Amino acid sequence: MADVKSLLAQFEEISKNPQKLVKEYVEAGEKVIACFPIYTPQPLVTAAGMVPMGIWGGQCNPQLAGKYSPIFTCSLLRSCLEFGMTGVYKDVSAVVMPIICDTFRGMNSAWRAGVPDIRSITFIYPQNRKDPGARDFLIEELKAVREALEDISGNTVTNEKLQTAIRLYNRKNAAMRAFCRTANDHLDLVKPADRHHVMKAVTFLKPERAVEMVSELTAALNAEPVHRFAGKKVVLTGITCEPDDILGYFDQCGVAVVGDDLAQESRQYRTDYPSANSGMESLALHWFGVKGCSSAHDDNNTARGDMLAAMAKEAGADCVVLCMMRFCEIEEYDQPSVITQLEKAGLMSFSIDIDQSTSDSGQALTKIQAYAEN
Amino acid sequence: MGETPEVKKAKRPLPKSRVMLNALVDSIYQAAWDAEAKGEPVGWSTSIFPQELCATFDIPVLYPENNAAGVAARHDSPRFIATSEGELGYSNDICSYARLSIGMAHQMACDPNYEPPAVQRMPRPTFLLCATNSCFELLKWYECLSRELDIPIFMQDCLFNYGDAKPAKHWVAYGRSQIEHNIKRMEEFFGKKFDWDKFLEIQKISVENARLFDECVMMNDRNPSPLNGFDLFNYMAPMVVARGRRETTEVLLQLKREIQEHIDNGTTTFGSAPQKFRVDWEGIACWPNLGYNLKSMKKYGVNCVTNGYVGAWSLHYTPGSLDEMAEQYMLSSTNVVNTATMMGKRADVANHFQCDGMFCHINRSCKFMTYHMTCGREIVEEKCGIPVVFFDGDQADPTIFNEAQFETRLQSLVDVMETNKEAKQ
């Protein structure tokens, strides 16, 4: 069995070089479907015999995206548009785009104007999730996604293939949750950036490979003696917590990340696809099981804050860090309520800015230092 | 040398249609206060929620977007926005209508010395109506109001139409299901039975009012235009707050008569200055700066003869058809359709109105409408061959707008329009 250090290095390599992986897939004759945040029906892509890969922008100062994308819109989607317009995504066969906020409404138009050569498979999640018509609506939306994927792949997505893919994704979810739990017993080995590299790499890997690699890492960690971490512990919430510099600051200040509600990370893995009469129904029901997410309306309007407080307490953290994606209004609307709920639960919190268009994270360091010294 | 004393111009009396409109809006607010005094339900609603439902239940509803526009136009928005950004901790990135309204709701609920706006004071609501057609932010905003005031939301999820076709069958079915489900929930919440006959009547009135409003808008295609284009921003009010009322029909019929009189007499509310350029204004008004915008444009002989925003309440369906009604609520707002659809339509309108240019408000509060402009600019330039110029502003936050930039951009638009006219001659 490989040692923890070398396994973590593999995840880091993958998380930092998704283009290398795309090249490998394409050279092996496979088609890659790029999946925008947050919830894309990836089992459909797998069942269609193609490779789903998450796209999460990246640190860049957009030069072309501004033509279509206003400066005051989400920096993650501006980076994605820039990468689309500059050919970074040229090897993907299509993108899947769920409309989950206003910036995605705009991105739908911007992508068509700026990246006309890469097909966008767009669909929308119903927000009135308790309405009796919402389930049937979503199944039909997902059928249109399935049809588009079948068209690209030339393969038929049967119910059997889809159910098999769904079981695989549920195994992946379980593997990710097991890794997160185990990592908390080995905070000497799994630093905040390492944890992030694992989570991010998995968004680029085929699900079966992800399960294999993550399970091997978890087993390797379990073989190590449990480490009693004496420093401060936090839980992260938001869309992403990048670049690595920021995660490095946590480590530098002796702070461990013991849980997350990041869209790029655990938010994707905490809700399984439920068993249902068909694979399509299971995909749809997954959306109705999503809790505590800024992109999914919940009649319980303190659900997210309460969930974060429970997560932090369970993981032994005394603070939740709100990683505020610059110009992400859905997160901004939630921010005051989340802070209030955490305060009520006797927990600390602070916010840091996440901006893919700048490499200056000095403000985050100051806030993390202030927390660490408190 | 002493300064020349400022000569104040006598204000022109309001046209009869405006007097009627103001009385109607006042009566809507009064009805809400009367209900509040009796301990009856009062709603706050997004501007394009199916108003037919509460109108049928005869439950008063007020509209925070409409209210925010009025408060901002009277330069009273900063104190509410300050509460949201300061005491409550909201980011200044979120919509200024939302910041204003959440701040107002908080003051209303928590400040014993709450000082309401001078006019159009809203009572505290007991329920919320939220349609997602104008934007997704509305839903997040109403979640905040729901938390702040501890009241329920009735939602009509109107689905952003990302494709080029009309809403598919399953979209319409979901829309219809929500209307039916909302009626059931409202019956329980209000403790009243829904009167389907009255509903049909209100649908008929609503459709009639939408038709009349469209006719008034289209009458401005004459040259010179009978209306200063900003007038239409005022006449949106009854379409927002009283679309299902007979009084709105009366206001619109009166407006139509007044427009016809202008056409017959060759007069215009634009004033005596010549209308040198006809422009399509895109985007919501900069309410705190409306006067300055109008004055500047008049200086250059620019009349905004049409704008896309006022068409958001143009809901046409066959009364009695829930499917058509549900579909219309998924189509009417500028922000519920994709850019190719929206800006394609706007280009057609700009051509019909013989516009010389398009002036676009890059509204800091309205991200998707801004996308329409940045992504749709090429569509308009190609279909109409007219210049498209942007300026920065905001619908309710006065800190974003800059007078100098506005005038500079306006000048550049005028320069290009002038050059184009000379070339044509």
Residue in chain B nearest A133 by alpha carbon: B174
pTM of the model: 0.95
Cβ(B134)–Cβ(B342) below 8 Å: no
Number of domains observed in the structure of chain A:
1
Q: Chain B, 225-284: which have a CB under 8 Å from a chain A CB? A: none
How far apart are the C-alpha atoms of B378 and B373, rounded to whole Å? 9
Q: What is the pLDDT of residues B136-163, one digit of tens each?
A: 999 999 999 999 999 999 999 999 999 9
Q: Would A307 be classed as within a structural domain?
A: no
pLDDT at B137: 96
Domain B16-196 coded CATH 3.40.50.11890: yes
Domain boundaries, chain B: 16-196
CATH number of the CATH domain containing A140? 3.40.50.11890
Q: Is B33 on the interface with A (CB under 8 A)?
A: no
Structure tokens at A214: 């993550």
ipTM: 0.96
- What integer is the mean pLDDT of B179-207? 98
Spell out the per-residue pLDDT of chain A, length 374, in tens: 579 999 999 999 999 999 999 999 999 999 999 999 999 999 999 999 999 999 999 999 999 999 999 999 999 999 999 999 999 999 999 999 999 999 999 999 999 999 999 999 999 999 999 999 999 999 999 999 999 999 999 999 999 999 999 999 999 999 999 999 999 999 999 999 999 999 999 999 999 999 999 999 999 999 999 999 999 999 999 999 999 999 999 999 999 999 999 999 999 999 999 999 999 999 999 999 999 999 999 999 899 999 999 999 999 999 999 999 999 999 999 999 999 999 999 999 999 999 998 878 889 999 999 999 98
Cβ distance B146 to A301 less than 8 Å, yes or no, reads yes
Q: What is the mean pLDDT of chain B?
A: 94
Chain B: closest CA distance from residue A101 (Å)? 6
Q: Are strands B277-282 and B302-307 parallel, antiparallel or unpaired?
A: parallel
Chain A: closest CA distance from residue B13 (Å)? 42
Q: Would A128 be classed as within a structural domain?
A: yes
pLDDT at B83: 98
Q: Would A132 be classed as within a structural domain?
A: yes
Cβ distance B90 to A333 less than 8 Å, yes or no, reads yes
Q: Chain B, 333-352: which have a CB under 8 Å from a chain A CB? A: 335, 338-340
State which residues form the domain around A25.
Answer: 18-160
- The answer for A351, left when phi > 0, alpha when psi is -120 to 50, beta otherwise, is beta
pLDDT at B230: 87
Cβ(A79)–Cβ(A57) below 8 Å: yes
Looking up tokens 């516009």 gives B355
Count how many pairs of residues, chain A against chain B, have C-beta atoms within 8 Å. 151
Does residue B3 register a pLDDT over 50? Answer: no
Across B368-420, where does the E strand assignment appear? Answer: 388-393
Q: What is the pLDDT of residues B60-77, one digit of tens each?
A: 999 999 999 999 999 999
pLDDT at A361: 85
Helix then strand then coil, in percent of chain B rounded to 5, is: 55, 10, 35
Chain A: closest CA distance from residue B14 (Å)? 39
Q: Chain B, 118-147: which have a CB under 8 Å from a chain A CB? A: 132, 135-137, 139-141, 143-144, 146-147
Maximum average pLDDT range among A201-210, B263-272, B283-292: A201-210
Residues of A in contact with B370 (CB under 8 A): 70, 73, 106
Q: Which of B88, B362, B367 faces A102 most closely, judged by CB atoms?
A: B367
Helix H or strand E encompassing B180: helix B169-190
pLDDT at A1: 56
Does residue B183 register a pLDDT over 90? Answer: yes
Residues of B in contact with A108 (CB under 8 A): 160, 162, 338
The residue of A38, A120, A128, A129 whose CB has the most chain B CBs within 10 angstroms, and thus the best one to mutate to test that interface, is: A128
Chain B: closest CA distance from residue A78 (Å)? 12
Q: Is B27 on the interface with A (CB under 8 A)?
A: no
Residues of A in contact with B144 (CB under 8 A): 333, 336-337
CA angle, B316 as apex, A128 and B224 as ends, to 5°?
125
Q: Which of A105, A109, A132 faces B177 most closely, judged by CB atoms?
A: A132
Q: Chain B, 342-401: which have a CB under 8 Å from a chain A CB? A: 362, 364, 367-368, 370-372, 374-376, 378
Cβ distance A105 to B364 less than 8 Å, yes or no, reads no
| Percent share of chain B, pLDDT over 70 | 98
